[in-house]
Amino acid sequence: MVLKKSEPAINQQLALIQCFATKATQDMFATLPVIDEPQKHLSAAVSWLKRAHDISLDDGVSWGYSLKGGWRTSYRETSGYIAVTFFNLAQQLNDNDSWDRAVKIARWLCDIQNSDGSVSNTRYSSEGIVFDTGQVLLGYVRAYQETQELCFLQAAERASDWLVRVADSSGRWTRNTHLGIPHVYNTRVAWALLELNALKSKPEYLQVAYANLDWGLSQQKNGWFDQCAFTADAAPFTHNIVYALRGLFESGIIQKEQKYIDAAILGSEAMLAKMHSNGFIPGQIDSSGKSDESYCCLTGNCQMAVLWLKLFELKGDRRYYQAALTSLQYVMSCQDIQTSDLNIRGGIKGSQPIWGKYTRLSYPNWATKFFIDGLLMLIKTNV
C-alpha cells in the first residue's frame, strides 16, 4: 500500500524547493540584496529571531530554519545566550517584549536543566555537555542579574558545580565534550564560570576556569589555534575561532588578566589580515593560517565584528571599528529583508554561499543572534 503525502506536507516541500532555488540563484550569480540602514537590518533580524522563538512548541528558541526540512525544534545551548541578547535588546531599545521573552527562555532553561546541574543536547543523548552547559550558564547569570530571582542563581550554581565536577585532575574539560575530545573554544565556558564567580565566588570556579584558559593559550600559534574545531582532524570554522577568542577576551576583562586579552588581540589581528576588502572572511582557517576561501561562515563574521568593537572600546584603534563595520556590511549584503518568505526574511544564513560547509542550506538562530549583537554595538558606538 502506498501512502499519499498530505497536502500541507507537499506544499511545505514545494516551498522549500522554491526557497532553495531562489537563494541558490542569488548566491551563484552574486545577486545579493542591497544594503540598507543598519537599523532596518537590525529590525528585520530581531523579527526573525522572535519568529524563531514563537514557532517553537515550548519556550525555547528554534534551532533555526533549514531548506532541508523547515523549522527545527528548540536548541537549548543557543537559547541560553539568546536570552542575553533579548535582555540587551530590552535595555538598548526599550523593548519590553524582548525582556519578557528573555525571562521566559530562562525559566524554560531552568525546567530542562538535568538533576546533576548539566544541560544536554537531546539530539545526541541525555548526558550533559560542557559547552552547552556553559552557554546556558550565561543565560542563567544574566537572568538573575536582571530579575534578582533566586531560582536563576541556584540554576547557575548547579551548572557551575557540575562543570567543576566533570573537569579532569588538571582542571581541564576533556570529557563530557562534543565527540569526547577537548576544544579550545571551551574558553567561552570558562568565561561563563567567571561571570558566576563574580557574583558568588568559589576557589574551584577559578581553578577550573584558569586551567582551561591557560590550556587554550598553549594551543595558540601566531593567532590561530590547534584543537579548536568540532572534530579533531578539521580546520576550525571562524565561528569556533571567535568563540575561543571571545572567551579569552571576556575572561581577561573580568579577571584583569592581560595575557588573555593579549591572546584575543593576537587572534583578532590575524583575522583582520584575512578579511577581504568587501568584508568576506574565509570560512575555515587552520593553525598554520591556511584558509578555505570558497565560502564565508557568516556567524564568524558577526562574532568577529563584536570582538573588534570591544577592542575599539578598549584601545580606541579605529582599525577595529572599520573592520567591524566592513564585516557587518558584508553580512548585511547577504541578509534578505525584502522577501515575502517570513521563514527567511531577516535571518542570517550559516554560510555565504548558502551551500557552504557551515550549517549548509540553513539559517541557524545563533547567526542572527550574533548579527544582532554586532549591530547593537555598532549603532551604540555611532562613530
149 to 105, 110, 198, 289: CA distances (angstroms): 14, 12, 17, 46
User: For 49-69, how does the pLDDT look when each residue is reduced to its tens digit (9 = 90+)?
Assistant: 999 999 999 999 999 999 999
Do 225 and 244 meet the contact criterion of CB atoms below 8 Å apart?
yes
Residue 12's pLDDT is 59
User: For 302-340, how does the pLDDT look when each residue is reduced to its tens digit (9 = 90+)?
Assistant: 999 999 999 999 999 999 999 999 999 999 999 999 999
**Is 57 a member of any domain?**
yes
For the sheet containing 351-352, what is the strand order?
Answer: 282-285, 291-297, 351-352
Enter the C-alpha cell of residue 158.
Answer: 548547579
**Is 13 a member of any domain?**
no
Residue 16's pLDDT is 58
pLDDT exceeds 50 at position 1: no
pLDDT band at 13 (very low <50, low <70, confident <90, very high): low
Strand partners, 226: none
Residue 4's pLDDT is 42
User: For 202-239, how does the pLDDT look when each residue is reduced to its tens digit (9 = 90+)?
Assistant: 999 999 999 999 999 999 999 999 999 999 989 999 99
pLDDT exceeds 80 at position 24: no
DSSP states of 321-361: HHHHHHHHHHHHHH--SS-S-TTTTT---SEESTTSSTTTT
**Is 31 a member of any domain?**
no
**What three-state secondary structure class fits 266?**
helix
CB proximity list for 18: less than 8 A, separation 6 or greater: none
Average pLDDT (117-121) is 97
Average pLDDT (31-59) is 92
pLDDT band at 131 (very low <50, low <70, confident <90, very high): very high
**Is 343 a member of any domain?**
yes
Q: What percent of the chain has pLDDT over 70?
A: 91
Residue 3's pLDDT is 38
Q: How many domains does the chain have?
A: 1
213 to 17, 110, 197: CA distances (angstroms): 45, 27, 15
Whole-number Å distance between alpha carbons of 169 and 145: 32
Q: How far is C-alpha 341 from the geometric centre of its chain's CA atoms? A: 24
User: For 337-366, how does the pLDDT look when each residue is reduced to its tens digit (9 = 90+)?
Assistant: 999 999 999 999 999 999 999 999 999 999
pLDDT exceeds 90 at position 22: no
Residue 5's pLDDT is 44
| Cβ burial, residue 235 (10 Å; 0-12/13-18/19+) | buried
Buried b (16+ CB within 10 A) or exposed e, 320-346: bbebbbbbbbbbbbbbbbebeeebbbb
Average pLDDT (162-173) is 98
pLDDT band at 382 (very low <50, low <70, confident <90, very high): confident
Enter the C-alpha cell of residue 101.
Answer: 521573552
* 3-state secondary structure labels for all residues of the chain: CCCCCCHHHHHHHHHHHHHHHHHHHHHHCCCCCCCCCHHHHHHHHHHHHHHHHHCCCCCCCECEEECCCEECCECHHHHHHHHHHHHHHHHHHCCHHHHHHHHHHHHHHHHCCCCCCCCECCCCCCCECHHHHHHHHHHHHHHHHHHCCHHHHHHHHHHHHHHHHCCCCCCCCCCCCHHHCCCHHHHHHHHHHHHHHCCCCCHHHHHHHHHHHHHHHHCEECCEECCCCCCCCCCCEHHHHHHHHHHHHHHHHHHCCHHHHHHHHHHHHHHHHHCCCCCCCEEEECCCCCEEEEEEEHHHHHHHHHHHHHHHHHHCCHHHHHHHHHHHHHHHHHCCCCCCCCCCCCCCCCEECCCCCCCCCEEEHHHHHHHHHHHHHHHHHCC
Average pLDDT (2-13) is 50
Do 316 and 323 meet the contact criterion of CB atoms below 8 Å apart?
no
Structure-model confidence comparison of residues 379 and 10, the more confident one: 379
**Is 23 a member of any domain?**
no
What's the mean per-residue pLDDT of the chain? 94
Residue 11's pLDDT is 56
Do 235 and 246 meet the contact criterion of CB atoms below 8 Å apart?
no
Identify the CATH number of the domain in which residue 72 sits. 1.50.10.10
User: For 250-281, how does the pLDDT look when each residue is reduced to its tens digit (9 = 90+)?
Assistant: 999 999 999 999 999 999 999 999 999 999 99
Residue 21's pLDDT is 56
Enter the C-alpha cell of residue 187.
Answer: 574558553
Could you check whether the bond before residue 353 is cis, i.e. omega within 30 degrees of 0?
A: yes
Residue 56's pLDDT is 97
Domain containing 65: what range? 41-381
Average pLDDT (152-168) is 98
